Amino acid sequence: MRTNTMRKYLIAGNWKMNQNMAQTSAYFAELGQHLSAVPSGVKVLLCTPYTSLSVAVEGAKSVTGLSIGAQNVHEKDTGAYTGEISAAMLKELGIGYAIIGHSERRQYYNESDESVNAKTIKSLETGLTPVVCVGELLEERKAGKQFDVVKAQLHGALANIKADDVSKIVIAYEPVWAIGTGETATPEQAQDIHAFIRSELKAAYGEKIATEVYILYGGSMNPKNAAELLSCADVDGGLIGGASLKPADFYSIIKDAETLTKS
């Protein structure tokens, strides 16, 4: 149970490469039937493909308090980086967040802790909230290396960032073996790593900063398991892939978070 925390819940959707513009409009129309305003005690974010961002920013106007994010961002301001999008370009669109270092980007596009760090620094400079993903592979967990892997990714991502800025970063713990597999970390497994991340933040930046940072869980979170995971002391929300694609399922997780804020 989360106690004595000033943090709200952050329920974030990651659509990955799903939903074209027409589907995005339809999604917001349906979500708006469930939800006219984000409940107090909860923050809600949807990270859409670049091509849907404008439609999503427009659609989000019908749900008061709903934020829109991107799934990646480039670390440079401008230049010869074909196919890339800068943080300033996202800001201009009305985007507030960017996912950085998702395991799919680490796996398929060779993103390293160094590039995650550079993207995180550029996002902070530009006023975007970075959602920095960390998490171990199945073989790393089997070898008992999950804490070492997460520690290295965490400190790699946060290198050379001032404590005050660290408090603005969202960390998402996403065990790679649980992403899109239907296999979820148990609440105990999630809590163990979340508490570890918070203790690492406390050791590096002090108690106040460690208390302010949101740590999300991601990996097959869905309406059936969300309440249990969100009840863990150091789980401040979810980064949700598959279940965020259905407005009713996403709404159900938002409701779970709202209910927990009242318990």
Shortest spacing between CB 176 and ligand PEP, in angstroms: 10
Distance CA 184, CA 186 (A): 6
Q: From the list 75, 113, 174, 249, which residue makes contact with ligand PEP (rule: CB under 6 A)? A: 174
**What DSSP state is assigned to residue 4?**
S
Token representation of residue 48: 């859409």
Task: Indicate the residue whose CB is closest to ligand PEP.
Answer: 241
Build a one-symbol-per-residue string for 189-218: x at contacts with ligand PEP by CB under 6 A, - elsewhere.
-----------------------------x
> Angle 146-158/187-205 helices, nearest 10 degrees?
40
Nearest to 214 by CA among 234, 186, 190, 244: 234
Distance CA 234, CA 195 (A): 6
| Marked catalytic residue, from 74, 75, 102, 200 | 102
Distance CA 187, CA 39 (A): 24
Catalytic annotation present for 102: yes
Nearest to 166 by CA among 175, 154, 158, 156: 158
Shortest spacing between CB 96 and ligand PEP, in angstroms: 18
Q: From the list 180, 207, 224, 259, which residue makes contact with ligand PEP (rule: CB under 6 A)? A: 180
Does 219 help bind ligand PEP (rule: CB under 6 A)?
Answer: yes
Does 95 help bind ligand PEP (rule: CB under 6 A)?
Answer: no
Shortest spacing between CB 245 and ligand PEP, in angstroms: 9
Question: With respect to ligand PEP, which residue has the nearer C-beta, 170 or 210?
Answer: 170
Build a one-symbol-per-residue string for 46-85: x at contacts with ligand PEP by CB under 6 A, - elsewhere.
----------------------------------------
Nearest to 149 by CA among 113, 116, 124: 113
Give the range of 60-68, 147-155, 159-167, 172-180 binding ligand PEP by CB under 6 A.
172-180
Nearest to 128 by CA among 174, 77, 70, 172: 70
Build a one-symbol-per-residue string for 7-46: x at contacts with ligand PEP by CB under 6 A, - elsewhere.
-------x-x------------------------------
Does 241 help bind ligand PEP (rule: CB under 6 A)?
Answer: yes
User: What value does the CA radius of gyration of the chain take, rounded to a whole number of Å?
Assistant: 17
Close Cβ partners of 192 (under 8 Å, ≥ 6 residues apart)? none
The footprint of ligand PEP (CB under 6 A) covers: 14, 16, 174, 179-180, 218-221, 239-243
